[in-house]
Structure 1
Amino acid sequence: SHADMADDEIDYNIVFPDAGISERHWQGTKEPVVILLGWAGCKDKHLSKYSSIYNEQGCVTVRYTAPLKTVFISESFGYKELSSTALKLLEILYDYEVENSPIFFHIFSNGGFMLYRYIVELLHSDKQFSSLRLIGAVVDSAPGSGNVRGALRALRATLGPKISPVLRYVLLALFAVTVFLLRVVLYPLTKYVHKNHYDAVQERPPAWPHFFLFSRDDQVIRHRDIEVFVESLKHKGVPVDCFDFGSSPHVGHFREFPEEYALKCRNFLVACMKDSEGTELKKRHRVQNP
């Protein structure tokens, strides 16, 4: 299937660590591959600061940010464009022959989380990916529910400055009303056609451990949304941890608390590796000694 995708490539970055650093951190085990999914409108130079947290720990990193219009406009109208993006991202693992490595996610805001939702769905449903070894996910400033404001901000950015102010105003107003109707008022009906990311993952969460980093001062995502989500995952038996940075802005936790943030991510990754190795050994033991 790779040949017919050549015309429709996604714009990602992959970084392989220095072999010496990998060996020092992950003696004798395969180093993890960390997939970072940026927030909507995130510039790659910002995302690369986060990936260096993991490169310094000897991990392979893959960085990807979905385009604004895909995240908000396609999602708002239930057009599942991100689903094919999710598939392409998973196929990168095979292209670079790292599909047997432990895989770890670091996801930002609703933009990253919307894409994560489709990756999770593929991992639930597609036999091709059943052998991938997923060990955990860090979720930064997400997920939020019913985010009309975010969708509006995306449309404003997508329309750009060249459009006349009156037309922009009319389009934004129409868009706001339509999205509000589809995603909020009529959601009890439209969810049968297209569930939002929040409900989809909450209803069928993946089993690997999750670590939610958020702040009660976040002006974009309500911290209550995250707390309710965390409780729901706990209830379903998913190993969950969370940390409230308290004062930092939306996706600004690393900027405000760089050392603490990096340390929390690295410690969580190491814990996930240990858990996963334990599970792998048990599996092997079961196969050898039925």
Structure 2
Amino acid sequence: MGSLSGILQRPVLAASAVAIASLSSDLREKLWPEKSLDVSLLCLEEKGSLFEENNSSWVSKISVSKLASLSFVARIHVPLPTINHQILGSSSSSSVPSFRFSSVYPSPGLINLHQSAELVKAAKPALYKYEASSLPSEVSYRWHLPEPSSVDVSGSSNCASVKSRTVVVLLGWLGAKQKHLNRYAEWYTSRGFHAITFTFPMSEILNYQVGGKAEQDIELLVNHLADWLDEEDGKNLVFHTFSNTGWLTYGVILENLQRSDPSLMGRIKGCVVDSAPVAAPDPQVWASGFSAAFLKKHSVATKGIVSGQSVGIRENETAAEVKPEFAETALLVILRKFFEVVLNLPAVNRRLSDVLSLLTLGQPSCPQLYIYSSADRVIPAGSVESFIERQRKNGREVRACNFISTPHVDHFRNDPTLYSSQLTQFLEDCVLSKCGNSMK
């Protein structure tokens, strides 16, 4: 199959142009929306209400050809992301690098900081400093080491040993960058875990090919994880996925693990699914995801809505009035038509079907935690709840928390206390259950 950008380049560029044009119409931005409703009692695996989208009637009358021929579209230059494919070499310094993470990219000069930083065995972990002379702005994944202050150097804590032998793999959402996942990585490393942050550059997604570079990057990550697990017994994995992009990436990782060494599936001790899944190739969901990635904070997807309350909307504007502006509505129409074609291409459909089947029927037996919201405009809450019920029927241990009013992949930022409590309880019960449940 050719690249997506090659197959339907014009509709995507037109969609991007509409997105860029919309930015001038609304420059409002609230960095920290109102704190979401107190929903602690609703996190006892209760079902939230389905979010319903109402498309205005005139939208269906708009054709792709009319939108693509709008005069302003042809005049707008659409910049695509540039990726700095800088290759890491060995450091000329004798010291170990000063950052707590390593940057990893396909290179013969790969630096495995996790091998050289045996913090749990170090007498003085504070002396381990990490320096890197040059790092690419965006790489496939980065390895973040546990914070020295979280390491029990005396070896008296069994839980500290379990944490230091556990890697949490964070799989980013569409359009996520390393800097966006650092906050989550810091949460885990401050508690003694290793963490890996994995992202896809937008250019890789637009140029996706079955078996192409995107899947090669995943294979590189899997090989690195397998090498780390094979170093000694007792090492384990936890996955933390974001949106359908991160969730589908998790499925491809499971495929690679099964193919390379099926026994490694048993080393997965838990999976956290944030703002996903929709376990079907739904064009509307894909259109909403790409629209949100193009428009970022200017997308209506960043504004949580529920029961007459809203997060991040204008003053005196009710939840019912918050609708996509014209440019975003037009973009959604184009993208939906685009994915109606792409998702039905034989090669794409077969690939997605294989991954979705594995995620539905062949996940490891580890516990799962689903974090979602009734206000999510990208992933309907009902789709998440339907998948949760199916997993329970398949005999999986599943927990869930509906944040009710928080936007797509924005639950941690809007309610960090509730988010942290959900993660803490899940890790104590599923990863640290045999060592005294210490997350301090």
TM-score in terms of structure 1 length: 0.75
Q: 1:6 aligns with which of 107, 110, 123?
A: 107
Consecutive unaligned residues of structure 1, counting only runs of 5 or more, are: 158-170, 278-290
Matched residue, 2:190: 56
The alpha carbon displacement at 1:98 in A equals: 7.4
Consecutive unaligned residues of structure 2, counting only runs of 5 or more, are: 1-104, 111-138, 296-330, 436-440
Q: In the alignment, is residue 180 of structure 1 matched against residue 340 of structure 2?
A: yes
User: In structure 1, the residue corresponding to 2:248 is in which secondary structure?
Assistant: helix
Q: 1:123 aligns with which of 242, 253, 257?
A: 257
After TM superposition, the structure 1 stretch with the greater mean CA deviation from structure 2, 114-123 or 213-222, is: 114-123
Q: In the alignment, is residue 86 of structure 1 matched against residue 244 of structure 2?
A: no
- Matched AA of 1:12: Y
Q: In the alignment, is residue 22 of structure 1 matched against residue 151 of structure 2?
A: yes
1:72 touches 1:150 (CA, 8 Å); kept in 2? no
Inter-CA distance 181–36: structure 2 relative to 1 (3 Å threshold): same
**How many percent of aligned residue pairs carry the same amino acid?**
27
1:234 touches 1:240 (CA, 8 Å); kept in 2? yes
The alpha carbon displacement at 1:196 in A equals: 6.8
Aligned ranges for residues 277-288 of structure 1 at < 5 Å?
Answer: none
Q: In the alignment, is residue 251 of structure 1 matched against residue 405 of structure 2?
A: no
Structure richer in helix, relative to its length: 1
Aligned ranges for residues 36-185 of structure 1 at < 5 Å?
Answer: 36-71=170-205, 74=208, 78=210, 81-94=213-226, 100=233, 101-127=235-261, 130=264, 133-144=267-278, 145=280, 146=282, 147-150=285-288, 152-153=290-291, 176-183=336-343
How many aligned positions are there? Answer: 258
- 1:178-197 deviation per Cα after TM superposition (whole angstroms, max 9, x unaligned): 420342xx489964454175
After TM superposition, the structure 1 stretch with the greater mean CA deviation from structure 2, 48-57 or 187-196, is: 187-196
> Whole-Å Cα distance in 2 between the matches of residues 131 and 235 of structure 1?
21
Matched residue, 1:269: 427
> Whole-Å Cα distance in 1 between the matches of residues 361 and 266 of structure 2?
22
User: In structure 1, the residue corresponding to 2:146 is in which secondary structure?
Assistant: coil
1:21 touches 1:56 (CA, 8 Å); kept in 2? yes
- Matched AA of 1:6: S
1:36 touches 1:51 (CA, 8 Å); kept in 2? yes
- 1:49-95 deviation per Cα after TM superposition (whole angstroms, max 9, x unaligned): 11111111111111111122434652xx7556543222211222355
> Whole-Å Cα distance in 2 between the matches of residues 25 and 276 of structure 1?
9
- 1:2-27 deviation per Cα after TM superposition (whole angstroms, max 9, x unaligned): xx942798532212114552335824
1:30 touches 1:102 (CA, 8 Å); kept in 2? no
> Whole-Å Cα distance in 1 between the matches of residues 148 and 199 of structure 2?
27
The alpha carbon displacement at 1:249 in A equals: 0.4
1:82 touches 1:115 (CA, 8 Å); kept in 2? no
> Whole-Å Cα distance in 2 between the matches of residues 141 and 83 of structure 1?
22
- Matched AA of 2:176: C
> Whole-Å Cα distance in 1 between the matches of residues 202 and 109 of structure 2?
17
Inter-CA distance 110–240: structure 2 relative to 1 (3 Å threshold): same
Inter-CA distance 252–154: structure 2 relative to 1 (3 Å threshold): closer
- Matched AA of 2:144: V
TM-score in terms of structure 2 length: 0.51
- 1:73-124 deviation per Cα after TM superposition (whole angstroms, max 9, x unaligned): 52xx755654322221122235556764221111111121121110112223
Inter-CA distance 153–131: structure 2 relative to 1 (3 Å threshold): closer
- 1:240-280 deviation per Cα after TM superposition (whole angstroms, max 9, x unaligned): 11100000000111011111111211221121114588xxx
